Structure 1
Amino acid sequence: MNISVAEAKAKFSELIERVEAGEEIVVTRDGKAVATIAAPVDVASSRQSIIGAMKGKVWIADEFDELGPEWDEYAK
């Protein structure tokens, strides 16, 4: 739902009820989005979905930490 700043000020309590019901509200000024009213993210449950998300998709080469001869003068 998009709503102007002025209308949001007048209907704030109603907007909060709609957000609690799962809706996301975009607040606009002069037709441009300036803010979003949304329910807070449950950090505990979102962390669980992130941990291990890249498993098997990222790898590090065996020689990753080996410097080539061009670094000899800096590695002393």
Structure 2
Amino acid sequence: MQTVTIHEAKTHLSRLLRKVAGGEELLILRGKVPIAKIVPLDADHAPRRLGLDKGKIWIAPDFDAPLPEEILHAFEQ
């Protein structure tokens, strides 16, 4: 993984992004501290289709019912 400073990243952004597009990962440092990581997007990344888990998930009819008082009270402390 290549590391660059913020200044280098700003100065050579186009060149660095070509490397990332080619599969490399890039770590950006502020001084010696890593602050960001640039990774290539997954080429097979596609929007998720709705309904893929139809029939696989069960939700209780009362899933949105009010919580019992003792549990609700624990959240309010």
TM-score (norm 1): 0.53
Deviations 1:6-63 (A, max 9, x none): 110000000010001110000000111100111123445xxxxxxxxxxxxxxxxxxx
Q: Runs of 5+ in structure 2 lacking a partner?
A: 47-77
Larger radius of gyration: 1
Greater helix content: 1
* Percent of matched pairs sharing the same residue: 32
Moved segments of 4+, more than 2 Å: 41-44
Matched, 1:34 2:35: yes
Which letter maps to 2:22? Answer: A
User: Following superposition of structure 1 onto structure 2, how do residues 1-76 of structure 1 map, counting pairs within 5 Å?
Assistant: 1-41=2-42, 42-43=44-45
Instruction: Tell me how large the CA RMSD over aligned residues is.
Output: 1.6
TM-score (norm 2): 0.52
Secondary structure of the 2:40 match is coil
Alpha-carbon distance in 1 for matches of 2:41, 2:22: 13
**1:2 shift after superposition:** 0.3
Alpha-carbon distance in 1 for matches of 2:14, 2:45: 25
Q: Runs of 5+ in structure 1 lacking a partner?
A: 45-76
Alpha-carbon distance in 2 for matches of 1:14, 1:29: 19
